[in-house]
Every structure is written in structure tokens, then in C-alpha cells.
Amino acid sequence: MPNMLTLALVVPCYNEEEIFPQTAVKLAQKIRALQSARLVSKKSKVVFVDDGSQDKTWELIAEQHRRCPQIFSGIKLSKNRGHQNALLCGLLTVKDSCDAVISIDADMQDDITVIDGMVRQFLAGCEIVYGVRNNRQTDGLFKKITAQAFYKLMSLLGVQTIYNHADFRLMGRRALDALAEYGEVNLFLRGIIPLLGYKTGVEYYTRAKRLAGTSKYPFYKMLNFALEGITSLSIKPIRLITLLGILLLLVSLAMIVWSIYRYFSGHTIVGWASLAVSLWAIGGLIIFSIGVIGEYIGKIYLETKQRPRYIIEKLLNK
Ligand code: UDP
Ligand code: MG
């Protein structure tokens, strides 16, 4: 078949030496199975992006590439740039050599059996196919609650995200070309992809536990990521501050009217406590508000620099 689809699986890896050998075997099997089923072409491959790992991840990637260059490629970033940048680097580097790309984590938490369905939906005309989790049974209670709160908050702030979808998704070349036009340095892919438009599809799957190793997203990184998502896609927090300011002004106005009324009706005002409390409350609000505004100014500062989002140190490709 001359026009068979060429697929690339893009896998960001950060300190994944424990899990890497199993992941490589599984993904290679998947590619071969898709090829046997005549769903994808012989040029289809697995592209690992080493996000500046400090362990043996890159050596393992290079070894796989040596053993089987037609299936495995590798990209080594010059330093750790975080999951989103590593992923973007993989997507943009491979986009011209394939028809569709599926991004997937190295820990095999995402069910690779739905890849077939993703490919079929792409062949049926979907430009983007989202992998969406059926449930969050494999998450701890804390992760469940914070994740739910995050999706709710994002939609309240007017940022469109796909509920329970992380970064396991198929994107066609056209979607990737569109993504390449988004030059932002503060990157939150989950919020940008729905902005691209095109016909989309969904594949549901059950998310497994990590095969080995530990999560590379400790709490502070998760919090950072959530803040990034909000401040890079929504300016509603700044609006809310303005509204809050107006509200406070109205309250103080009412207080003045009230005090005048009390004065003329012959009551003296004792209220030291209320004064002190409001002083602190307002002080706190002001500092908080300055902080939020500063957060956005910081973002603008970083965006205007237009620094590269990643730097490739080495590229292993057939
Ligand atoms: N990852 C990365 N750079 C980082 C952190 C993570 O490339 O700075 C990769 C990691 O190797 C994995 C994926 O991003 O393939 C998701 O990370 P992880 O599974 O640790 O996140 P969790 O599933 O716990 O949210
Ligand atoms: Mg994981």
C-alpha cells in the first residue's frame, strides 16, 4: 500500500532508567503489531525525548537506537526543561517526517491498546484524538481531589480543557503545524490543543499504575503546572482583582455612610477591633493582588524574551 499512514510515538523521558527497557519493548511490539495489521507504514517509529536525565536514560535510548534504528529514534535535550517542553520538542521535531504523532508517557500508565482506535479515528477524519481516562481509581485521594478541583477551576476561569485527559493523544500533521504557530514560552499544551480546532475524537481507557520508578511530578511541580495553566491561558484572575477592589470600595463607602448616621444619632464608635481587623484584611488583599498581577507581569517578561523552549543536544535518527 503506497499511502499508508506513518505514525510516530513520542515519549518524553526524565530519569526513567528503571522503566525504560520494558517501555521500549512494549512500544516496539505495538508498532510492529500496527504494521502487521497494515494500519501504519514501515516508516513508523518510536521517538524518545530525553529531558536532561541524570541517570542512564540516554544511554539506554542510544542503545535501543543502535539495536533497531528503523524503530527507535532519540532526541537528547541539553538540560531538563520539563515534561511540556520535552513533549513539544518531540512533536515539532518529528512532525515533518510522519502523518500523525501520538504522545505518551514513558511509565506506561496509559493503555497502549487504544492506539489502534486512535489511528482508526484519524483515518476516519479526526485530526486530534484525545485519550481520556474512564476513572481515577488508580489515583490516591489527594490526587483525585486536587485534579477535580483543577479542572473545575480551569473551566470557571474560561480555559477549555478536556476533562480527565492528560497528554496521551494523537495529532495529525495539520494540527501539529497549527501548534507550531503558537510561540508561547509558558507552555500548557492541554489548554492550547483545544484551541486548534479541527475535528476531534475521544478514546476512553483505564489508567494503570506506574510500571516502575516514581512519579516525576512531585507536589510542587504539580502546583507549578496548575499555576502555569491558569496564568498562561486566563486573565480572569486579574479581572477578579479589579472587581474585588470595586467591591471593597463600595463596602468602605457604606461604612462611611453608616458612621455618619451613627454620629448624628448620638453614638460614639468604639470599634478598635474592627478597625484593626479591616486594616490587616485590606493590607493582605492588596499584597495578594499585587502578587497576582506580578505573576502576569513575570509571564510577559518571560514571553518577550522569546527564548528557545528547548535546545537539542543530540539527535539519533536513521
Ligand atoms: N517527564 C519529563 N520531564 C520532567 C518530568 C517528567 O519528561 O521534568 C516525563 C516523565 O518521564 C514521564 C512523563 O513526563 O514520561 C510524565 O511524568 P510522570 O509519569 O512522572 O507524571 P505522573 O504520571 O505522576 O503525573
Ligand atoms: Mg505517570
What's the mean pLDDT when you consider all of the chain?
Answer: 88
**Strand duo 165-172 + 100-103: pairing:** antiparallel
Burial of 33 (0-12, 13-18, 19+ CB in 10 A): middle
Q: Whose CA is nearest to atom 14 of ligand 1?
A: 83
Stretch 176-186: mean pLDDT, rounded? Answer: 89
Is residue 110 within 6 Å of ligand 1 at its C-beta? Answer: no
> Residue 97: how many CB atoms within 10 A of its CB?
15
Is residue 200 within 6 Å of ligand 1 at its C-beta? Answer: no
Separation between Cα atoms, residue 51 and residue 40, nearest integer Å: 27
Separation between Cα atoms, residue 109 and residue 105, nearest integer Å: 7
What atom in ligand 1 is closest to the CA of residue 81? 8
Give the DSSP H or E segment for 285: helix 272-305
Q: What are the pLDDT digits (tens) for 89-135?
A: 999 999 999 999 999 999 999 999 999 999 999 999 999 999 999 87
Is residue 80 within 6 Å of ligand 1 at its C-beta? Answer: yes
Q: What are the pLDDT digits (tens) for 226-253?
A: 888 888 888 888 888 888 888 888 888 8
Q: What are the pLDDT digits (tens) for 265-295?
A: 877 667 766 787 788 778 888 888 888 888 8
Separation between Cα atoms, residue 118 and residue 280, nearest integer Å: 55
Centre of ligand 2 from the C-alpha of residue 12, in Å:
11
65-71: long-range contacts, CB 8 A cutoff, minimum separation 24? 65/316, 68/28, 69/316, 69/318, 70/42, 70/45, 70/318, 71/28, 71/31, 71/32, 71/45, 71/46
Which pLDDT score is estimated for 59?
95
Q: What are the pLDDT digits (tens) for 202-217?
A: 999 988 888 788 888 7
236 or 14, greater pLDDT: 14
What residues pair up with 72 in beta bridges, in sequence order?
Answer: 46
> Residue 20: how many CB atoms within 10 A of its CB?
28
Q: Whose CA is nearest to atom 23 of ligand 1?
A: 215
Q: Whose CA is nearest to atom 25 of ligand 1?
A: 217
Q: What are the pLDDT digits (tens) for 27-37?
A: 999 999 999 99
Q: Whose CA is nearest to atom 8 of ligand 1?
A: 82
Strands (E) across 215-279 are located at none
7-218+309-316, superfamily in CATH? Spore Coat Polysaccharide Biosynthesis Protein SpsA; Chain A (3.90.550.10)
Which pLDDT score is estimated for 172?
95
| DSSP per-residue letters across 79-124 | S---HHHHHHHHHHHHGGG-SEEEE--TT--S-GGGHHHHHHHHHT
Which pLDDT score is estimated for 1?
44
Domain boundaries, the chain: 7-218+309-316, 236-305
Centre of ligand 2 from the C-alpha of residue 118, in Å:
20
Is residue 106 within 6 Å of ligand 1 at its C-beta? Answer: yes
- pTM summary value: 0.81
pLDDT above 90: residue 156: no
Q: What are the residue ranges of helices labelled H in 129-172?
A: 141-156
Separation between Cα atoms, residue 96 and residue 6, nearest integer Å: 11
What atom in ligand 1 is closest to the CA of residue 86? 7
